[in-house]
Each structure stands twice: as C-alpha cells, then as structure tokens.
Amino acid sequence: MANAKRAFIFDMDGTIVDNMAFHTRSWLEFFARRGKEYDPDAFFRETAGAQGREILRERLGPDIPDDEIAVLAQEKDALYREMYRPHRAAIQGFEAFVSAADAQGVALAVATSAPPKNIVFTLDELDLRRHFATVVGAADVKQGKPHPDVFLKAAEQLGIDPADCIVFEDAPMGVEAARRAGMRAAVITSTLPAEDFKEFDNVIAIVGDYDEIAVDELLARL
C-alpha cells in the first residue's frame, strides 16, 4: 500500500454484505416495541447511511442523554445481529474483486456508519478484514453520512488524495457523502434501483454485484 496512488473505499452494510433489509427490519421492530410504526421503504430511504445514534435522536428526541442513546443503540444492533446472523455472506464476486484490486496496487479501505460490534460481526467473523489496510467506523468520526467525514478519514489513513479514490456505496446518502468528499462512486444496487442515483454526477458505475465490473474499467474512469 505504501506506493499506492489510487484507492477503493467500501461502505460495509449493503455494499460488502447484502444486509440492509435486516437493518430495516430490526429498526422497525425496535420502534414497534415503543409504539412507533414506520413505512419500511420510507424508513430505509430516510436513514440508510446514517449512524444509529443519529437515527435514535431524530426519532426519539434530541434531549435523551448520551448514555441512554448508547444503550438503545446496543439493543437495536443486538436485534439486527440476531436477525442477520444465519444469512451472512459477502456480495457475489466481492472477494475476487478486492483481490484483483490489491494485485493491481489499489489501496483498500472500509468506511462505514456501523458501530464496532457490527464491524466485528461482519468483517472479522466473515474473515474479510484481511483485505483492507484500514477500517473507519462510526466510533471514529463525529458526523455520519451524508457528511464526508468517514470517507475523508479513510483516504487520509491510506495516504491517498480524495480525487484518486472510488467509493463503493448502496445508498444515496453514502453517494452524497462521497460527492462532498470529492470522490467518485460506484453503486451496488443491492437495496435500491439504479434510477435512485441518476441525479449524482459523481457516479461512474452502477452494478448489481462485483461480477459485473472489472478493476481496470473503474481505474480508467479516474
């Protein structure tokens, strides 16, 4: 990585693993236990890419103490892990794609809104962390997407200029965060259709999975 001049930065949920439906289901169950009902599609579109603590404050009120927010977030995430555990798997073609990128000298990172336990649940328990030079999560930045903080921190840790980074995302808030970071984006349509990203001028590829795109094709678009 020391001589890398370009980087691929991956969101995790919905981009490395196809798990966003389980996040939505766990959020809806969490709020249903508190007498709050939301439309699943609208909830996903409004929250995908945001940090859990941001979602909790928006839906439950801004005056809840930080320690209570932390406990509530742990409850929701435990529910998510219980729901998703039997289904965990990398998206089709992912490991072959990152191996090909690494072989071509591309620096690799994860930049996610997930908390530490969920990162371990996905990257470590699926043995995927070994592919990445650095992993940046919700605990490492103050603001979640669409703020660019998590992507900029990943680029900084890799030592790569933002203009030489391609972000892999599945949600509009994540693509907007990449745009604000000055980065191009490749979209994985694991949870939303291609037309949901038509307004973004930083999107250079839209695919269903990693078998549909080659490292060379993406690098050429930088």
Percent of the chain beyond pLDDT 70?
Answer: 99
> Using 50, 70 and 90 to split pLDDT, how confident is the model at 222?
confident
Provide the pLDDT for residue 191: 87
Please count the CA atoms within 13 angstroms of the CA of 140 that sit on its side-chain side.
20
What Å distances lie between residue 116 and 106, 147, 160, 195, CA to CA?
25, 19, 24, 32
Provide the pLDDT for residue 138: 92
Provide the pLDDT for residue 3: 59
Q: Is the pLDDT of residue 29 over 70?
A: yes
Active-site residue identified among 11, 77, 102, 149:
11
**Domain range 20-86, CATH architecture:** Orthogonal Bundle (1.10)
The answer, yes or no, to whether the previous bond of 65 is cis (omega within 30 of 0) is no
Provide the pLDDT for residue 44: 87
Provide the pLDDT for residue 133: 98
**128-177 confidence digits (pLDDT tens):** 999 999 999 999 999 999 999 999 999 999 999 999 999 999 999 999 99
Q: Where in the chain is the domain with CATH 1.10.150?
A: 20-86
To the query of whether residue 140 is one of the catalytic residues in this protein, the response is no
**17-26 confidence digits (pLDDT tens):** 999 999 999 9
Structure tokens at 54: 């941001």
| Residues contacting 89, CB < 8 A, separation 6+ | 17, 18, 126
Measured in Å, how far apart are the chain's first and last C-alpha atoms?
18
Q: Output the CATH code of domain 7-19+88-220.
A: 3.40.50.1000
The arithmetic mean of pLDDT across residues 101-122, rounded, is 97
The arithmetic mean of pLDDT across residues 109-117, rounded, is 95
Supply the mean pLDDT for the chain: 95
**Contact between 11 and 168 (Cβ < 8 Å):** yes
